[in-house]
Structure 1
């Protein structure tokens, strides 16, 4: 009896010990203490799993699964319906970091709400987590770079200001960077891509930047990163794909350990770009003989987290002696600390951010922010008096161009899905009534494709096509996901992007299924593009059969005769064997109008609003496109596509007044087009309400105030070699030629006069007068140049302020310019510091000399 009682007591004590809260489970302890405790309980294999972007649950320790990879470039990306804000360069063109902070506060609200929805569903998949790999603070050094649209322009200081607004908004900090009063971090932001990255896209997995001048490194490429680390306390930094001086950025101890950690004091985590550790292997950078050696080099150099799955080789690297488990602990500790700071291990009742309701997602208030940002980011480049348009002339106005009615173009790249998008055509019709629309041409070709995809119905009767995915190449077994696609199919794994949550990056298969319902007799074209295998069947007949292994992207365009009222079942089978994946499909009415036909469609219209430029379909990250003038997502020249130039010439010769709206993520050389147009407006990729904002500006309801965050050059011939990362001859800071439109430039419907500036006690003061007849907003810009520094920038932005001035009134503007803003490269000490001496202080409305007033300032 006594023995039985003793056994019962031991069992009870054991149960009590098991139920006790372990230190890592105790929310009262610091994140660091909890991380240290948990580290000691993990096996080496478990540690390796937790250091990859898809970190699995570890049930025995109660560790939840965690998704590190999420996107929020200009709104939540790749995660269903959200608010889609303007593309990043357009937000930079607002020069309004206070508004940008509001935008990313809204984005982080939507992110937390989306994450809660995923948790309640029982699974948090990729793009649903709390770690966001944004902002992209690389310097947009060359307009040919397809990913330049993701940045905040070509200037280090503007990039710093905008980048800090993004980080503070995402992480729940105050606008000036003070930590939140909340117990937990709102989100984890990430500064990318470290360091010295800005294209080209086509060779980024093998390219080596060599002999970059130290001045360019410290004065141009690194300042924004340093500011986000030290001022913004950014949680993550992402290393880039390419090499610098022979070593990959994600295996480069100088940048990751010496600069980030030792010199800047960064205590957050470093993540690789997706697939970057694989690039260490032969066939890419070739710096590592095999996978264990590659992962050892990455972690030893400082890359704590991998986007990919190469870190599964860490246990083997430890076994071989390539790296110690203690070094792995150092990296994993940073990841665990970040997760504890988010509240990832704790009950929702303790984390205030989990109370953000789903009603904030795509809310009216957030959509209003998207509209305001599109208003402020639109730039008036030329106006001979044709703008604003007059509503009474609506019947004599035609809207034209390949981008006029393209809602997907409006979203830019890395976007989510808008609940409603206002195109340029729709925006103008809201203001002018049912104005005529003539497409005229495609982006780069004379063919006009009118999509009929909206006539597709999925098997359950809903709009679109049903997409079913298998993580094998045989379409066998249980599908991993089934989704409905409601717009023309345009999918790729560029940037290591999956086709749908849960689908492999490589070696998967898909079936797209739907019924086309014809409403008229016509001949249509099935526009198909795919890599690797694809076949298209209509009512059981195979019209496309490209079934070869590892093909480069193949295109087909069979015709289909349809009859009104008939249904046509379209089935597309797609198999991805390896490498790049791409799947594109649309069903279109194809025409090639002649010049006479185009003019006949324009008719007696006096004014043509031509919405042209380019599109995220041809510029972006590591793309495969066959359009002339593009390579790998980059451009080979910066001219407007020839077919659009020809139509502008046609319209001009016919005596039409032309308002040209340029849609692009970067600069277009409009040198030939400028004389043909009465007005030019830079429309970028304006987000879900971009068309509405554009219409308000064209009609004069909103006075344009945007300023260029990049230089618009006159010709591709003015650009240095794209592969040359030296700043000589690049951007407004070093380019000595004549530009088309300078950095900081942007017109208004009114005019401003800037007086002579004064500088005293660390403050620039200047009088600004609105000399026109319309209230307006001006961006007062402050540039510096050290007089004796003949090797340095011609001028460099060091401060700015957006001010609103009523017509006929003046305003005195005070802009802080403390001593540390005079910091620059000192060749004598080989360092960044404030060099005593004389400086030229330039204040005005753009970076052009004619728009600036200059005074001399002596700095001790």
Structure 2
């Protein structure tokens, strides 16, 4: 917490007796009064300047009213994020690969429970900081229209139906079903038509066709508002039809509030109100920009530049009436009232949730279930599952031991995370498993120094001060230096923000040569003002000392270069003094000679019977607005979907050994493997699988768990097949509009067993516009082991111009024992049978509808059955 906010909070608490007396006469403190009247009562007591301040994400205390500070900015993309230890589920794109509504609902319930546990504890500690509130800025439901977008990993895929239905269940889970109170608030984002490029996000404009807007970019938002009853929404950075999204009255008022009946509050993306002025040039001053946003419906600003504080000036200059601000504030305070923030704790059922509910055994078990269901078997020639008779297993690749490969972005701290190498060792026995790093993720970017470089491992010794004073308070053995200590104590008895740690042992390179070393520290400080000093000692080389301040300034930042004349182990240590700053992620990284890493991996493969190659990307390569420009990557986005060259060369060398190779891809987006994938015996897509990812992968590779994930995005052969990244027209994009060859199609996923479909039944051969159609089919497990099948219903209307090639309109996950059969049913409602016309109207028209129900799309080799029915009459649906 910043000093200013602490002072405000403590001042409010210091006058508690007086405030309690005053509150008795305040309507907003009456838990039995109507919410709207309570909210209006608060707003009516605020001055103009206080009103503006309350419209920032970090709303300060109003001491005279007994209103404590509150920060609306909280994250929960795949578990409660950025507030310390929490259950870390697979990254959102991996959750989408489960095609499991129930699982998304349970993830949302976990977020609500852990969010309340953290909030309750924070309130007891007078902690009003960001990330400890109950208004979660999740889920991200933008359509992943192009695999180059670095933030696509945060989404639920490329399909509007899948995205909308999964997000709706997540939102229901987050917000709960109490008749009086919301357990938490979910915030679908970023509204609307937003999906990169990251470099242009503060200034680009999209002119979507009416058909694309209605058919692709808005349906998921509509579903989460109309069906999911989301109580908040975030508007996007970009402009739509020339007007910034956060000032776009057509989007925010006409569609969102008038057509869809949204009554919750809207927050801007961070700095998006500034973009109205400086990015899109829709306004001539900050006062005018803030006024435009509020008049359009933006109630709160994620303010990097105090944009909302310009509103008093906007009122005085006539840009906005104070009554419009009041309307926005009433929505904001209504949300806090519905969360129970102004009511006695005994009236709010969630106030009793203890901190021990955070990261509970049941939640960890759910994360394991999610990781298992998210893994997609893309290819298998019979090498999987790995048999007990296979003998020695070579695990190779940078992702096998990298913590960031589990986390993705917008994540909590994964205490006790299971890395892939450790999960495989647990599944098969560590004596059967040998490891080699083989390559970095990308040649130009340092990668963690692997555990194989530290014979005998390392000893981490901790002191409860930053001066290396007194006796150590904790000591533990670790295989390497790659940790995430965001918001957690590094060891028992060690303060999270001020401590000293020494890692010591021996270091041995895989081959002679020049190596660059540095201590990579990310996601630290968290608004603090402290500093970190580290010293690297390698025998025979000068010590390397670096000090980094939380202001971003850095001295002696050049990496340490060491020449190794041989591979003999030598004394090694890293000492880190952490002073009043959150440590974040800490990785001892190197740039090693590529040949040395690759040759070590090849030798490891030759000594094994089967090779499991962990390759892919990580959230330091693809993500949000990054200062990264290397081949294949640009500012967080990708310029190529091919595997980075160093990893392609590794796969080529491994496959040249003649040993069976299983490729495990960890990424947040499609990766084209090309010839490497063709030569591999099997390919698994594991995404960023969360805290239990390593254990889940060991279970799938060993056959303890039958893989059942499905691709929520298309894996193209290359970006050369796609329109320009900046082109938002849907023609030629996603499975719905792309008719070329692909490596793996949307909906694809194999199993260790086989399934057959039969007995397709329609409710009626002809349906009248406005009526529903029912469909059922029988699925049988024809194989020898139990497994989950994901039945997918696709609909197409041949001959109707400009409609998608096909569209997902239903899915159902079923578990079947060998020989077991089950009938699954689907109901197609009028909106499922409607397609957008050229004016953007969702319209039902006479046609013959063709449908397919199967384990993937038709004509992809997936089992399934097809049918058809006629539709008569016409009907235009409300927007």
Tell me which interval the TM-score lies in, with the shorter structure as reference length: 0.7 to 0.9
SS of 2:823's equivalent in the other structure is: strand
Of the three residues 585, 588, 603, the one matched with 1:586 is 588
Secondary structure, counterpart of 1:721 in structure 2: coil
**Cα drift, residue 654 of structure 1:** 1.4
Residues paired across the two proteins, number: 797
User: Structure 1 pair 116/454, CA: closer, same or farther in 2 (3 Å)?
Assistant: farther
Of residues 197, 202, 224, the one that matches 1:200 is 197
Q: 2:653 aligns with which of 650, 653, 663?
A: 650
Q: How big is each residue's C-alpha offset from its partner over 1:547-589, in whole Å with a ceiling of 9 and x where there is no partner? A: 9x999999631236999778665569999xxxxxx99863558
CA distance in 2, matches of 1:68, 1:732: 37
Displacement of 1:856: 1.9
Alignment partner for residue 845 of structure 1, among 834, 851, 855?
855
CA gap 1:637/1:728 in 2 versus in 1, 3 angstroms: same
What is the CA distance between 1:56 and its match in structure 2?
0.9
Ranges in structure 1 where 5+ consecutive residues have no aligned partner: 1-13, 174-179, 466-485, 492-498, 502-509, 576-581
Q: CA deviation at 1:836?
A: 3.0
Aligned residue runs from structure 1 range 404-803, under 5 A: 404-434=400-430, 435-445=433-443, 449-450=448-449, 459-460=463-464, 514=500, 516-520=502-506, 525-527=516-518, 556-559=558-561, 569=575, 586=588, 588=590, 590-594=592-596, 595-755=598-758, 757-760=760-763, 762-803=773-814
Describe the superposition over 1:198-218 as per-residue Cα deviations: whole angstroms up to 9, x where unpaired: 1111110111113x1111000
CA distance in 2 between counterparts of 1:449 and 1:125 reads 32
Q: Decide whether the 8 Å contact of 2:215 with 2:840 is kept in 1.
A: no
Partner residue of 1:231? 227
1:673-714 CA-to-partner distances (Å, cap 9, x unmatched) read 222200000011111111111111111111111111111111
- 1:502-556 alpha-carbon deviations (Å, 9 max, x no partner): xxxxxxxx99974544322668744267999999766997756999x99999963
Cα distance change of structure 1 residues 38 and 84 upon mapping to structure 2, 3 Å threshold: same
Partner residue of 2:365? 368
**Residues 730 and 61 from structure 1, CA distance in 2 versus in 1: closer, same or farther, beyond 3 angstroms?**
same
Which is further off, 119-128 or 529-538?
A: 529-538
Equivalent runs, 1:135-174 vs 2, <5 Å:
135-173=139-177
CA contact (8 A) 1:648 1:676 kept: no
Is 2:29 the counterpart of 1:49? no
**Contact map agreement 1:75 1:85 (CA 8 A) in 2:** yes
**How many Å apart are 1:625 and its aligned residue?**
2.5
- Inter-CA distance 527–854: structure 2 relative to 1 (3 Å threshold): same
- State the partner residue of 2:85: 81
In 1, the alpha carbon distance for the partners of 2:218 and 2:847 equals 24
- Superposed, which structure 2 residues align to 1:82-231 within 5 Å? 82-173=86-177, 180-181=178-179, 183-210=180-207, 212-231=208-227
Q: 2: distance between equivalents of 1:215 and 1:568?
A: 58
- 1:322-337 matches, within 5 Å, as 322-337=319-334
CA distance in 2, matches of 1:17, 1:149: 50
Cα gap change, 1:636/1:458 in structure 2, threshold over 3 Å: closer, same or farther? farther
Distance change in 2, residues 1:528/1:209 (3 Å): farther
Find the aligned partners of 1:517 and 1:270 in 2 and give their Cα distance: 47
Match of 2:260 among 255, 258, 264: 264
Query: For residues 59 and 512 of structure 1, do their structure 2 counterparts lie closer, same or farther at Cα, with a shift above 3 Å needed?
Result: closer
Alignment of 1:224-373 (within 5 A): 224-282=220-278, 284-308=279-303, 309-373=306-370
- 1:380 and 2:377 equivalent? yes
Rate the CA distance shift 1:60–1:53 in 2: closer, same or farther, 3 A. Answer: same
User: Please, which of 844, 847, 868 is the counterpart of residue 856 of structure 1?
Assistant: 868
Would the aligned equivalents of 1:610 and 1:660 in 2 still touch at CA under 8 Å? yes
Structure 1 residues 384 and 344, CA gap change in structure 2 (3 angstroms): same
Contact 2:520–2:589, Cα closer than 8 Å, also in 1: no
**640 and 23 in structure 1: CA distance in 2 versus 1, 3 angstrom threshold:** same
Provide structure 2 residue ranges, at least 5 long, that are not aligned to the other structure: 1-17, 470-479, 489-495, 510-514, 526-530, 765-772, 873-879
Distance 1:100 1:401 in 2: 31
Number of the residue aligned with 1:59: 63
Structure 1: how far apart are the matches of 2:389 and 2:197?
48
Q: C-alpha displacement at 1:799, in angstroms?
A: 0.9
Q: State how far apart, in whole Å, the 1-side matches of 2:135 and 2:51 are.
A: 19
SS of residue paired to 1:165: helix
User: Once the 2 structures are TM-superposed, how far is the Cα of residue 241 of structure 1 from its aligned partner?
Assistant: 0.5
Secondary structure in structure 2 of the residue aligned to 1:57 = coil
Q: TM-score if structure 2 supplies the norm length?
A: 0.85
Counterpart of 2:823 (choices 812, 818, 839) is: 812
Distance in 2 between residues matched to 1:117 and 1:259, nearest whole Å: 39
Offset at residue 71 of structure 1 (A): 0.4
Structure 1 residue 390 displacement after superposition = 1.5
Q: Map Cα deviations across residues 454-498 of structure 1 (whole Å, 9 max, x no partner).
A: 766555279999xxxxxxxxxxxxxxxxxxxx965899xxxxxxx
**Do the aligned residues in 1 keep the contact of 2:448 with 2:587 (CA within 8 Å)?**
no
For residues 636-693 of structure 1, the C-alpha deviation after alignment (integer angstroms, 9 at most, x for no partner) is 1000111111121112221111010000011111222222200000011111111111
State the SS of the aligned residue for 2:848.
strand
TM-score with structure 1 setting the length: 0.86
Distance verdict in 2 for CA 1:402–1:205, change over 3 Å: same
Shift, 1:146, TM fit: 0.9
Could you say which residue in structure 1 is the equivalent of 2:473?
A: none
- Secondary structure of the corresponding residue to residue 329 of structure 2: helix
Q: Secondary structure at the match of 2:399?
A: coil
User: How far does the alpha carbon of each residue in 1:384-420 deviate from its partner, in whole angstroms, 9 at most, with x for none?
Assistant: 00011123434x2111101001123201110001220
CA distance in 2: counterparts of 1:150 and 1:445, whole angstroms: 25
CA deviation vs aligned residue, 1:344-398 (integer Å, no higher than 9, x gap): 111111100111122221111000000001111111000000011123434x211
**Whole-angstrom distance in 2 between the partners of 1:15 and 1:420:** 44
8 Å Cα contact 1:783/1:796 also seen in 2: yes
Is the Cα–Cα contact under 8 Å of residues 826 and 835 in structure 1 kept in the other structure? no
Structure 1 counterpart SS, 2:411: coil
Counterparts of 2:689 and 2:742 in 1: how far apart (Å)? 25
Structure 2 CA distance, aligned partners of 1:75 and 1:127? 12
- 1:507 is aligned to none
